[in-house]
Amino acid sequence: MDYMTLKDASEKWGVTPRRINYYCSAGRIPGAVKMATIWLIPKNAKKPADGRRKILKNGGEDNEENNAG
């Protein structure tokens, strides 16, 4: 299996390496393994959903623009 680093995943998914580290530590990326101090993430892994935002039934995200008015 091919793996990518935190930096590679952060560039691919458009988030910071720190956020990827959090995802790995929380077990939100299936197949991610820690070798010494380095997280290895499968290249075919999908970006986990951002749990900080609530997805609405209509498919949009809950944010202040949707709630204004």
Residue 27, pLDDT score: 94
Residue 16, pLDDT score: 94
10-residue stretch averages of pLDDT, the chain, 69 residues long? 93 94 94 95 91 68 56
Say what the pTM is: 0.69
* CA distances from residue 67 to 15, 58, 61 in whole angstroms, order as listed: 25, 14, 10
29-52 as b/e, with b when 16 or more CB fall inside 10 Å? beebeeeeeebbbbeebeebeeee
- Joined together, the tokens standing for residue 26 give 């929380």
